[in-house]
Structure 1
Amino acid sequence: MTDKLNLTLLLEYIPPSSLDYLDWVSVGMALKFEGYPFDVWDTWSQQDSRYNAREMEAKWESLGHSKDTPVTGAFITMKAKENGWTSSAYSGSDGNEFLAWDDEVSAARDYKFIDKAWVEGQEINEPTDNWSPAEQLKTYIQTLFKNDDYIGYVVESWQKDDGKYSVSGSGNYTRTAEEILNDLERYKNEKDLGFVVGDSKKEAGAWIRFNPLDGKGVKNDNVTDFRYALVESDNLGLEKQNAIMRELELPIAALVFSGGKSIHAIVKVEAKDKNEYRDRVEYLYKICNKNGLQVDGQNKNPSRLSRMPGVVRGDHKQFLIDTNIGKANWEEWQTWIEDLNDDLPEFESLAEMFKEDPPLAPVLIDGVLRRGHKMLIAGPSKAGKSFALMEMTISIAEGIPWFGFNCEMGKVLYLNMELDRPSAYKRFKDIYQAMGIPPKHLENISIWNMRGHSIPMDKLTPKLIRRAQKEKFDAVIIDPIYKVLTGSENDAEQMAKFTNNFDKVAMELGTSVIYCHHHSKGAQGGKSSMDRSSGSGVFARDPDAILDLIELDVTKSLRDQQKNRATAKFYADIIRDEKPAYFPEIGQDDFLSASEMRKHLTEALGTERAERIAGFELGPLSKRVDLMTAWRLEGTLREFPKFDSVNLWFNYPLHYSDDAGVLKDLEPVGSEPAYKRGATNGGNSKNSEEKKAERAKKNTENLISAFTTLDIESKGELRIGELVDYFGKSRNTVKNWIDNQDILKIDSKGIVSFVEKSNE
C-alpha cells in the first residue's frame, strides 16, 4: 500500500459522528476492500458515541461487496473531500505533492485557522427557576420566522431500548408563527409551555423545526424557505463548543442549549433553493470539521428538528444562549472565511530583503523573458503566430536566437490546441528545414496534442501541473488561449481569474508560461502595441512581457524590389549548382540585380536554357514573393528595457528578420494616411518646414544604412544603380536624396562615396 493513497490519513477528515449508519458501514467496506486491517476501522469508530465494542468484530466479518459495484477507497476520498481534504495536501512515496485528476486550482485550500487545543472554553449560564419559558420560545420564533410562516414542532416522544428518547410522529405543522405568538402572549405567566404547544415528557424535552413549512407536511419538499442550517456537535465540552462557534464567527440566528451534551446553532444560510442549500451546508460543515467542531452529518436536511427553547429535559433546561451573533449573513461570513484562507504571502521587511539580496530569475530569452515569468504574443489573423511560437520552441530547444534574441537552451512543452497530430508534426518538420538547422535536441521538445480534448483553463491547470511536474520544463507554450478561455474575454474580473491560472502553472512548475492571443477587430495601426489584444485590459497588464505583431503596408515598389532580389538569387543559385566554375566571375554588385544575373545566366548556361528558366520557373517564385507579408514586432516589457522594433518577413513557413532594413520606413496597416498626417495644424508653413526637415533627415539615415549594407567589401564607394535597386526608387529620386544632404556625394560617373571632412 506504499504506492497508494494512505487512507488512514484521510480518515482524520471524516469524523464518524458526522455519518449516518450506511456511510459508516461503507467506510468499513472500503477499508476492507483496500486491504486495511480491522483495527483501523475499529480505532476510527471509537470517536463516535454510538460505538459498541462488542459488535465491531462481528460487523467487520459481515462486510461484503458486490462484484459489480464494490465500495472502494474512492468513497473515503469523496467523504474526506466533503470535509475539506484536498489531494494537494497528500505527498506520494517520493515526497512530492500532487493534484488529483479532477482537482481545481481553487480547491487546494486548508481552511483550518483554529486550533481547538488553544481555544479557551466560554461558560454557559443556565437560567434559574424563575425563567420565563414563554419568553424563551417567543424570542426564538421572532428571531427565525415571519408571522405567516408555518412552524413545525414535536412534543411527543418514545423511549428506545438504549434508554434514549426519540420523537414520536410528525408533530404539529399547521400553525403559523403569529398564532403561536398570540398564545404565548396569552399564557406568558405559565410555568411551562403546555397550554401553547402541548405537554412534553420531562425526560425527553421537545423539538422544533428551524425552517418554515407549507402547512401540509414535514418533509424536505414541504420547506418553503431554505433560511437556516443546524450545526450540532458533541465531540467537545459545552464550553469549547460555545467558544469555537463564536471564534468561527458563524452567522448564528439562535444558539440553543439542547439540555444534553450539545449546543444547537441555527445558522443563516439563506439559500435560494434546495441545491444551493445542500452546497452551503456542505461548505459550512467542512469549515466546522476542519476547525475541531465535528458536526453531526445527520442534520443536513432542511426539515430537520432542533431543540425547542423553553422546555425542560431531564435535569436541565433547553434555553436560548444567544441570538444574532457572528457575521450578519452568509455572504459576509463566507467572504471572511475565504479571506482568512487566501494563501497570500506574509508581509516582508525591505531591510531583510536588502540583507538577503535575492537573485533575479535566470533569463530564458535575452532582453525579453525570465524563467518563471509570463509572456503574451498577440497579433491578427494570418500573422503566423503559431509559426512564431513553434520557431520559438525550436530556438529554445536548440539554444539559438529567435527573431534576433538569444535563447538559453531548455526544455519546452508545446500545448497544441488547434492542429491534429500529423499536421503539428509536419509543421515542426517544415520549420526545422526552413530554418536550415539540424534537429540535434528534439528531446527538448514535448508536444501535448489537445485538439478535440480542450477543457477550460481552471480544469486544465491541475492536470497540466500533475503531468509536467517531473519533466522540469523551462517553458510551457499554450497555442492559442481561446481554446481554454473561461468566461467572457471582455470581463476584467473573469479574465483576472483566468490569467491567475498561468501564475499557478508558473509557480508550481518553475516554468515560463507563454501564450498566444488575437487582436481585436478593426484597424490596429494607430494603437499602442499593448492595447491591440482583444478583450479586457487584463491582457495588457498581466504578462511580464507582451510581444505584438502588426502587419506593415508593403508598397508595390518594395515588392518589386524583393522580386528583383529573389530572382537574382534564384539565377545565382542555378549558376552555382550547374556551372560552379563560372560562379567566381560574377561581380559582387551584380548579385543584387536580376537583369545583370540574367546576363550571367545566359553566358553560363546558354540562351535556350536561360530562356526556359526565365519562362517556366520564375512564375512560382514571383507568386511566392507576392504572398510574402511584412510584420513589425514590438515589445512592452516589465523586466527589461524596451527594445527597438524588429521588422520581419513572413514567407511560409518561416519568419525571418529584415536584415537589409527595407521595412523600417513602412507604416503599419491601418495607420493614419499620409495626407492626414501632413495636414496637422492646418498646414501652416512652420509645420510644413519641420516635416520637410524630418523627411530629409530620414532620407539621409536610410541612405547611410543602405550604403553600409551594400558596401560588402568596405571599399567606401557604390554605384548609384545599386542604391536604386535597393530602394526600388527611380534614379532621380535617389540622386535628389544624395544632393540634399552633406554626408554622401555622387560624382559624374554615378559613383557614390562619403564626403571627406577636413581636419579643421
Structure 2
Amino acid sequence: MDNNQYDLLEVLNSIEPAGLDYQQWLNVGMALDQEGYGVDIWDAWSRKDPGRYHPGECQKKWNGFHGHGTPVTGGTIVQYAREQGWTPSHDPGQALDWDDTISSDGIIVDTDWVEGRDVKEPDSWDPVKQLITYLETLFEAGENVGYVVKSWKKDEKWIPADKGAYDRTAGQLIEALSSCNGDIGSVLGDYNPEAGAWIRFNPMDGMDVKDRNVADYRYSLVESDGMDIEKQHAIIRELELPVACLVHSGKKSLHAIVRVDAADFMEYKKRVDYLYTICKKNGLEIDPQNKNPSRLSRMPGIIRGGHKQFLMDTNIGKANWAEWKEWIESVNDDLPDPESLEDVWDDLPELAPCLIDGVLRQGHKMLIAGPSKAGKSFLQIEMCIAIAEGREWLGWKCTQGRVMYVNLELDRASCLHRFRDVYQSLGYKPDNLRNIDIWNLRGKSRPMDKLAPMLIRRAAKKNYIAIVIDPIYKVITGDENSADQMANFCNQFDKVCTELGVAVIYCHHHSKGGQGGKKAMDRASGSGVFARDPDAMLDMIELELSEDVLKAEENKAVCAACRQYLDAHFKLEDDLSDDDLCSSYQMLSYCENKLDKWQWEALQRIVEAAKTRARAVTAWRIEGTLREFPKFPAVNLWFDYPCHRVDTVGVLGDIQPEADSPGWQKNFKKKRTPEQAKKDRMDSLEEQYESLKSFNQDGKVTVKELAESMGTTEKTVRNRIKEHGGFWIDEGNVGKK
C-alpha cells in the first residue's frame, strides 16, 4: 500500500483509541515508528482515551520496538480507521500491511448473496461421545485440559464461577468418560443445566489458566453472535476456515475452533489478528475478547437453558493454517491474468528507457560487488554525478535525472566532502547539484524491511530516477548465507523499484579469499541470491601490477608534473619533441637546465610526490552479468584516489587477476631479498643494454640512452654499471668487458 496517498496523522485522528484493544493500540505505535513519526504523536493520540492512558507508557513501549520480518506499517492505521467508519474523499484502495498480499479487501464471501446453512440439533444425543470426540480431535493424550462447570449469574448472564480444573490430561478424561455410563457429572463435576459448561481449546501446562500457561498455541476461537446462526454457518464453510471442531453454543452462536498452528505467543497474536481481519471483512463480527489463547469455549455434550451444546462437525475447511492462508491469498491476489502472446505480438509494450546505456534500465536493480579498498563508494558517487550531470560513467552514457544517495557508512561531513572531491577530480562544473540528494544515515540506519517504507515515503513525489544504497551490509536482515532469507531481503529492493519507479543500485563486498579463479557471479559474499537477483551486476576484481607497468605509470606521472610546472611558470617553447614530452629522463634533464636552483628543488619535490602517487594507484577490472543487454567487454580501470579512470590505452588488457593461492605465496612474491633486488637490477641493466645494442645500427650504446630507456638518471646508470662490474664506460659510451 502506498501510505503517501493519505495524510497519516489525519487518518490517525479519526480513530478513537478507546475503540481498539491493547494489541491494536500497540500496533498503532509500531506503525507510527515504522513510518518515521515520533513517540510524541502516539502519546498525544493515546490521551484521547483517559480511562486507559498512563503517562510514560508510550515511551516505555516505544523503546522496545525493533525491525522484524513483517513490520506493522501505516496501512494498519488506515485499516483501523476504516473499521471505525473513516472513508477518504478519494479512496484509492486498501491494504492491510506492508507485507500483506491480501487485495480486493480480503473478501471471499459476498454477504448480500450468501444463503444460510441449516443448523439442526442431533437426532440422537450421546453427550459422552460428543465430548470424547472433541477431546480426541483437539488434544494429545498426555496434554492437560482446562474446563469449568461451576457458574454464577451476573446481569442476567451466566458466567464461569472460577478457574475450574486444569490438572487432568485428555487421556485421563477420555478414559474416565468411557466408563461413566453417560454421567458426565461424575467425571467433570455437576454443572448447572441453565448455564452450561466451558472448556479451554488449547492444551495447558497444568499450573494455571493464564495465557502464559498455554502449552501449545494450536487453536483460536471464532464466534459471532451478532448475526443469524445459519448465516454464521454458511460463512464459516465458504471461508473454508481450517476448523478442527465446530460447536453449537446452545444459543445464538457457533464456536469454531480454528487451527492457527503458531510456534509461540507472538506468532499466535499475528495469526489471530489476520484470522479476525479476514472473518470481519466477510461478515463475521467477532468479539476481540475471544483472541486470547487460554479462552474458554462452550463444551459439547452439555445442556444449556434447555438446548444442547453439541458438536456439529470436525476437521472441516482447509487442512491447516498454511493451506488456508495460501488459499485466501491466491483467491485475493492482485496478480495479472496470463495473456496470449498472439494478442500483443503486434503491439508490444515499450521497454523501460535506459538509465546507463547497455547496462541498466530505469526501474531495474543493479549490484556493484567488489573487495574492500576498491573504491566502491567513490565509484557510486561518480555514477551519481554522471546521472545528475547527464555525462558518461566508465564510458557508458547516463540519462540525466535526479538521484538519491543513501549513505549508511560515512559521517555526514566526510560524505559531503567526497562528493566535492570527486567533482573536482573529474573536472566537472557542479551545474546540477539540485539533482543529487543525500540521505545520511550513519548510526541511524534500520534493517531493510523497516528502512524500505521510510525510504519510499521520503522519496515519493521527488521524481528520482535512481536510488543508490551504500553499502547494503548495514541493512541486511537475516543470515546472508541463507537463500530464502536473502530472497526476502532482496524483495525490499523490488518494493522500492515498484513503488517509486526508480532504479535501485547497491553495493556488496566479496567473500574472503582470492577471487581470480572464480566467475564474477560467485565472488559476492553470502548466498548466490545476491548475484542472481539484480538485473545487472558489475563485479570488480583487482589486477596485480608488474614493476614494468608501475614504472611506466611513474614515467607518465613525472612527465605530467614537469609539463604542468613548466606551463605554470614559463611559456613552453617548441624545443621539446613529442618523444621528449613522453620521457621522464628528457623532461627532467630539460627542467634541470631550464630552471634556477630554487625552482628545480621545488619541482623535484613535486616529482617525488607524483612518483609516490603513481605507485599508489591500483588497477581493477569490471565484468558484467546482465539480464537485459548483451555482455560487454571487461572494463579496465585505474583507481587514482578519489576517482576511477578507464584504461583507454590498453595497458591493463593483458593482465590477469591473481588466482587463488595461499597468502604466504602472495606475500613472498612481493617481498624481495636484497640479493634478489640486486639481481633484478643487474638483469634489467643487461636486458636494456642488449636491446639498445641490437636496435642501434652501429651497435653502440651510451649512458644517456640507457638512462632514458630505464626511466632513470645517468648517475643511477653509472652506479649500476659500477655495481655490476661487467661493463666499461668511456666518454659516455658503454660496452661489455
Give the TM-score, by structure 2 length. Answer: 0.76
C-alpha deviations, 1:522-571, integer Å up to 9, x for none?
A: 22122222222111111221111111222122121121122222222222
Q: 1:645 is matched by which residue type in structure 2?
A: A
Cα 1:83–1:164 shift into 2, 3 Å: farther
Cα 1:579–1:132 shift into 2, 3 Å: same
Tell whether 2:601 aligns with 1:612: yes
**Alpha-carbon offset, residue 573 of structure 1:** 1.9
1:602-641 alignment to 2 at 5 Å?
602=592, 605-606=594-595, 608=597, 611-613=600-602, 615-641=604-630
Q: 1:164 is matched by which residue type in structure 2?
A: K
State the match for 1:676 in structure 2: none
State the match for 1:756 in structure 2: none
State the match for 2:10 in structure 1: 5
Tell whether 2:261 aligns with 1:267: no
**Alpha-carbon offset, residue 482 of structure 1:** 0.8
- Please give the secondary structure, in 2, of the residue aligned with 1:666: coil
- Please give the secondary structure, in 2, of the residue aligned with 1:5: helix
Total equivalences in the alignment: 637
1:288-307 alignment to 2 at 5 Å?
288-307=279-298
State the match for 2:501 in structure 1: 510
Alignment partner for residue 500 of structure 1, among 485, 491, 504? Answer: 491
Whether the aligned pair in 2 keeps the contact of 1:249 and 1:327 (CA below 8 Å) is yes
**Alpha-carbon offset, residue 283 of structure 1:** 3.4
Alignment partner for residue 595 of structure 1, among 585, 592, 611? Answer: 585
Gaps of 5+ in 2: 1-5, 29-40, 63-71, 663-703, 713-737
Whether the aligned pair in 1 keeps the contact of 2:585 and 2:708 (CA below 8 Å) is no
Tell whether 2:389 aligns with 1:408: no
State the match for 1:158 in structure 2: 152
Distance in 1 separating the partners of 2:464 and 2:537: 21
1:651-670 alignment to 2 at 5 Å?
651-670=640-659
Q: 2:319 is matched by which residue type in structure 1?
A: A
Distance in 2 separating the partners of 1:606 and 1:148: 100
* Identity across matched positions, percent: 49
Tell whether 2:239 aligns with 1:248: yes
Whether the aligned pair in 1 keeps the contact of 2:107 and 2:278 (CA below 8 Å) is no
Distance in 2 separating the partners of 1:308 and 1:67: 38
Gaps of 5+ in 1: 37-59, 674-720, 730-760
Whether the aligned pair in 2 keeps the contact of 1:82 and 1:286 (CA below 8 Å) is no
Q: 1:661 is matched by which residue type in structure 2?
A: G
Cα 1:585–1:217 shift into 2, 3 Å: closer
C-alpha deviations, 1:197-255, integer Å up to 9, x for none?
A: 45544443332232344556544455444433221112332222222222333222210
Q: 1:133 is matched by which residue type in structure 2?
A: P
State the match for 2:472 in structure 1: 481
- Please give the secondary structure, in 1, of the residue aligned with 2:393: coil
Tell whether 2:201 aligns with 1:207: no
1:578-727 alignment to 2 at 5 Å?
578-580=569-571, 582-602=572-592, 605-606=594-595, 608=597, 611-613=600-602, 615-670=604-659
Q: 1:395 is matched by which residue type in structure 2?
A: A
State the match for 1:120 in structure 2: 114
Q: 2:422 is matched by which residue type in structure 1?
A: I
**Alpha-carbon offset, residue 494 of structure 1:** 1.2
State the match for 1:459 in structure 2: 450
**Alpha-carbon offset, residue 2 of structure 1:** 7.9
Whether the aligned pair in 1 keeps the contact of 2:406 and 2:469 (CA below 8 Å) is yes
Whether the aligned pair in 1 keeps the contact of 2:73 and 2:98 (CA below 8 Å) is no
State the match for 2:516 in structure 1: 525
State the match for 1:138 in structure 2: 132
Cα 1:651–1:87 shift into 2, 3 Å: farther
Q: 1:586 is matched by which residue type in structure 2?
A: L
Give the TM-score, by structure 1 length. Answer: 0.74
Distance in 2 separating the partners of 1:586 and 1:531: 51
Q: 1:640 is matched by which residue type in structure 2?
A: F
1:425-464 alignment to 2 at 5 Å?
425-464=416-455
Q: 2:411 is matched by which residue type in structure 1?
A: D
Whether the aligned pair in 2 keeps the contact of 1:145 and 1:212 (CA below 8 Å) is yes
**Alpha-carbon offset, residue 517 of structure 1:** 1.1
Distance in 2 separating the partners of 1:137 and 1:261: 20
**Alpha-carbon offset, residue 180 of structure 1:** 4.0
Whether the aligned pair in 2 keeps the contact of 1:526 and 1:672 (CA below 8 Å) is no
Distance in 1 separating the partners of 2:45 and 2:604: 79
1:277-356 alignment to 2 at 5 Å?
277-314=268-305, 316-337=307-328, 340=331, 343-356=334-347
Distance in 2 separating the partners of 1:95 and 1:213: 46
C-alpha deviations, 1:581-627, integer Å up to 9, x for none?
A: x4344333322122333344345x34646643554331111101100
Distance in 2 separating the partners of 1:429 and 1:533: 30
**Alpha-carbon offset, residue 415 of structure 1:** 0.8
Distance in 1 separating the partners of 2:317 and 2:498: 36
- Please give the secondary structure, in 2, of the residue aligned with 1:85: helix
State the match for 1:688 in structure 2: none
- Please give the secondary structure, in 2, of the residue aligned with 1:141: helix
Cα 1:199–1:598 shift into 2, 3 Å: closer
Distance in 2 separating the partners of 1:573 and 1:6: 65
**Alpha-carbon offset, residue 109 of structure 1:** 4.4
Distance in 1 separating the partners of 2:74 and 2:618: 58
Distance in 2 separating the partners of 1:88 and 1:587: 82
Cα 1:621–1:145 shift into 2, 3 Å: closer
Distance in 2 separating the partners of 1:552 and 1:307: 75
- Please give the secondary structure, in 1, of the residue aligned with 2:497: helix
Whether the aligned pair in 1 keeps the contact of 2:147 and 2:198 (CA below 8 Å) is yes
Distance in 2 separating the partners of 1:70 and 1:452: 26
Whether the aligned pair in 2 keeps the contact of 1:383 and 1:549 (CA below 8 Å) is yes
Whether the aligned pair in 2 keeps the contact of 1:104 and 1:458 (CA below 8 Å) is no
1:156-195 alignment to 2 at 5 Å?
156-161=150-155, 163-173=156-166, 175-188=168-181, 193-195=184-186
Distance in 1 separating the partners of 2:158 and 2:296: 14
Whether the aligned pair in 2 keeps the contact of 1:254 and 1:267 (CA below 8 Å) is yes
Q: 1:205 is matched by which residue type in structure 2?
A: G
Whether the aligned pair in 1 keeps the contact of 2:109 and 2:239 (CA below 8 Å) is no
State the match for 1:697 in structure 2: none
- Please give the secondary structure, in 2, of the residue aligned with 1:134: helix
Distance in 2 separating the partners of 1:725 and 1:351: 71
Cα 1:669–1:465 shift into 2, 3 Å: same
Cα 1:335–1:15 shift into 2, 3 Å: farther
- Please give the secondary structure, in 2, of the residue aligned with 1:565: helix
Distance in 2 separating the partners of 1:671 and 1:81: 50
Whether the aligned pair in 2 keeps the contact of 1:10 and 1:85 (CA below 8 Å) is no
Q: 2:160 is matched by which residue type in structure 1?
A: V
Q: 1:638 is matched by which residue type in structure 2?
A: R
C-alpha deviations, 1:695-720, integer Å up to 9, x for none?
A: xxxxxxxxxxxxxxxxxxxxxxxxxx
State the match for 1:705 in structure 2: none
Q: Which moved more, 1:507-516 or 1:176-185?
A: 176-185
Tell whether 2:361 aligns with 1:370: yes
Whether the aligned pair in 1 keeps the contact of 2:387 and 2:399 (CA below 8 Å) is yes
Q: 1:590 is matched by which residue type in structure 2?
A: D
**Alpha-carbon offset, residue 473 of structure 1:** 0.7
Distance in 2 separating the partners of 1:326 and 1:122: 17
Whether the aligned pair in 2 keeps the contact of 1:3 and 1:92 (CA below 8 Å) is no
Q: Which moved more, 1:617-626 or 1:327-336?
A: 327-336
Alignment partner for residue 536 of structure 2, among 515, 521, 545? Answer: 545
State the match for 2:389 in structure 1: 398
C-alpha deviations, 1:95-149, integer Å up to 9, x for none?
A: 88999xxx97425745713134256345234235542222222222222234444
**Alpha-carbon offset, residue 176 of structure 1:** 4.5
